[in-house]
Structure 1
Amino acid sequence: MTAIAVLGSTNMDLVAYVARAPERGETVTGREFRTIPGGKGANQAIAAARAGGEVLMIGAVGDDAYGTRLRAELEHAGVETDLLHTAEGPSGTAHIVVDDTGANAIVVIPGANGTVHTLGHGEMAAIAEADLLLLQLELPLPAVVEGARMAHAQGVRTILTPSPVQPLPDELFDNVDLLIPNEHEAAALSGKTEPHAAAEILLRHVPEVVVTLGSKGCLYAARDSETIHFPAPEVTAVDTTGAGDTFVGALAVALGEGRAVPEALAWASIAAALCVQKPGASTSMPYRSEIDAA
């Protein structure tokens, strides 16, 4: 079984479902509200665990009711939480509006995630013992860089989702094996709006890039090889909130199992397609049996 360490955020998603998202200064009436455990780190951890990985979560929750529920949700999914610390104050929250097309807009309040500035001996040892490390950018950047540096030094394959997008230091790029931005993040990091061109620029910094394109699938690019487009399964989206994290979690499991890139990307794309057909992020992530059967 693939050992995956996830250094990342845990948030409670506060989700409002509306026919149409409000314009600036406008108020609209929604049809439903849900509180759903999430955060990019926790989402990727749950996706990987459901896809068959042995997953350890590194991060922090608050000492509030949300923190208790977030920890319980991870443990229910089979994620080890010994290194998910409890910080004083509120847990992180994500305030999400989802419209009838399944599109979303999100505001993240870091809460306890903002306390993770550095890693201790236990966290570093856990990263060193993993097969893969999953990173995102909802924790303070120094901790993300520290985790990537440790993983690289120990030969642990490191996958970074650069979200929320921000300028990245060379020290982080230098310690990442696979970068997985969506097309907007790829454009922001590369200065190129066309995904193929963006991927070519990003390959100057990292050995491999997957640019996710939503319903259009994804692009895979590696140094000294052609860029390949992989289409996504055609489905009707209900909520796209957790699709990217589901894709990353499933892809990590597939790559850790030694699958060839085309097979791994196809399997991860099926997982993401299953996810978007249900509401919520962590609650909609498929199990390995569902991915295999699709």
Structure 2
Amino acid sequence: MERGLLVIGDVVTDVVARHRGPLAPATDTAAEIRTLPGGAGANAACWAAHSGLTDVRILARVGTDSAAWHEEQLRHAGVRPHLVRDAETPTGTVISLVDAGAERTFLSDNGAALRLSPADWSPSLLDGVTHLHLSGYLFFSDTSRATARLALREARGRGVTVSVDPASAGFIAGLGVDRFLAAVAGADVLLPNVDEARLLTGLPEPGDAAAKLSRRFPLVAVTLGADGALLAAAGGVTARVPPVPAEAADSTGAGDAFTGAFLAARLSGAGGSRGNDVGAAAAGCRAGAHAVTVIGGRPPLRGTADPPGSG
């Protein structure tokens, strides 16, 4: 039986610049540039809907400048948006510099995203929901961290399971590992990439890092990029999931695709046991492989409006 997924996180505008050669300081570098909807939380929600989950919702804060466009994009992707409009701060923007090898570097202006406040939260958002997913970006400001913690506590009180994507090794380092781990305490599933897992544990070997994290969180799924993923529980690695080959064009959002597909598979019945969690991780790897073949962080859509300011 399918169950509802609520994502709380970031909805931002992505500016993706693909450059074939190295960046040339103090002059021009030729690039293909596109403006797309993005945000780790929103991307994960869209990939969950793309993976077949029909009840996917997102709570986020955006500027009034582009709220209508983002709502349209989310609805077209099969996600029910609960977007709080901020009249004082514009929607967050991320500039993604993608090199010839499809590796990306982000310049992030969080804008309204991290202004999501406890006043924006309502317990009724959990009605019909059996899983809550929190984007790690929420934990990097006092206001949105308080909101995330509030939602986590209320979800646990209702018996709703909770997952967290740590989101950014750079931002975790700025906040501090201990503060981050304390803030996400109580989550049932942690979904770090390999760099985040290493930072959170101080252990260089991904399996060791995953095993250590699984002493804090019941299930840990670490994405390894082109090497697939691994699962850990109760202090040990339980499975290694092979990668799915793909011709990479842009690695933006590959981890979000894994998260969305992984959660969709578990909520649709593929989770709940070791073997089924492996199946969910395999679904995540397939979605991640798909994601790197498209530009931007979401599944491709047709017939949507141009971004604000484009015409």
Query: Normalized against structure 1, the TM-score is what?
Result: 0.89
Bigger mean CA deviation after superposition, 31-40 or 156-165: 156-165
Q: Which residue of 2 aligns with 1:282?
A: 298
Q: Which residue of 2 aligns with 1:290?
A: none
**Alpha-carbon shift at residue 127 of structure 1 (Å):** 2.6
Whether the 8 Å contact between 2:213 and 2:235 is mirrored in structure 1 is no
Whether the 8 Å contact between 2:164 and 2:184 is mirrored in structure 1 is no
Q: Which residue of 2 aligns with 1:191?
A: 202
Q: Which residue of 2 aligns with 1:261?
A: 277
Bigger mean CA deviation after superposition, 111-120 or 199-208: 111-120
Uncovered stretches (5+) of structure 1, i.e. residues with no partner: 286-294
Q: Which residue of 2 aligns with 1:252?
A: 263
Bigger mean CA deviation after superposition, 207-216 or 218-227: 218-227
Whether the 8 Å contact between 1:2 and 1:253 is mirrored in structure 2 is no
**Alpha-carbon shift at residue 171 of structure 1 (Å):** 4.7
- Residue from 209, 226, 232 that aligns with 2:243: 232
1:216 aligns to 2:227 (yes or no): yes
**Alpha-carbon shift at residue 204 of structure 1 (Å):** 2.4
**SS where residue 138 of structure 1 aligns?**
helix
Q: Give matches, 1:76-95, under 5 Å.
A: 76-81=76-81, 83-88=82-87, 89-95=89-95
1:175 aligns to 2:198 (yes or no): no
Aligned-partner Cα distance in 1 for 2:291–2:181:
34
**Alpha-carbon shift at residue 12 of structure 1 (Å):** 0.2
Identity %: 32
Query: Normalized against structure 2, the TM-score is what?
Result: 0.85
**Alpha-carbon shift at residue 125 of structure 1 (Å):** 2.2
**Alpha-carbon shift at residue 228 of structure 1 (Å):** 1.7
**SS where residue 126 of structure 2 aligns?**
helix
1:154 aligns to 2:140 (yes or no): no
1:15 aligns to 2:16 (yes or no): yes
What do residues 153-208 of structure 1 show as CA deviations (whole Å, max 9, x unaligned)? Answer: 21111110001242345553432001000011111111112111111221221111
**Alpha-carbon shift at residue 226 of structure 1 (Å):** 4.0
Aligned-partner Cα distance in 2 for 1:114–1:224:
33
Q: Which residue of 1 aligns with 2:130?
A: 131
Whether the 8 Å contact between 1:179 and 1:208 is mirrored in structure 2 is yes
**Alpha-carbon shift at residue 137 of structure 1 (Å):** 2.1
Aligned-partner Cα distance in 1 for 2:241–2:299:
26
Aligned-partner Cα distance in 1 for 2:121–2:109:
27
What do residues 231-255 of structure 1 show as CA deviations (whole Å, max 9, x unaligned)? Answer: 1111111111011101101111100
Whether the 8 Å contact between 1:132 and 1:156 is mirrored in structure 2 is yes
Write the letter of the residue equivalent to 1:10: V
Aligned length: 281
Write the letter of the residue equivalent to 2:285: S
**SS where residue 96 of structure 2 aligns?**
strand
Write the letter of the residue equivalent to 2:105: A
- Residue from 139, 142, 146 that aligns with 2:146: 142
Aligned-partner Cα distance in 1 for 2:247–2:38:
22
**SS where residue 106 of structure 1 aligns?**
strand
What do residues 5-56 of structure 1 show as CA deviations (whole Å, max 9, x unaligned)? Answer: 0000000001111014538x56551321100100011101111111122111
Aligned-partner Cα distance in 1 for 2:284–2:236:
21
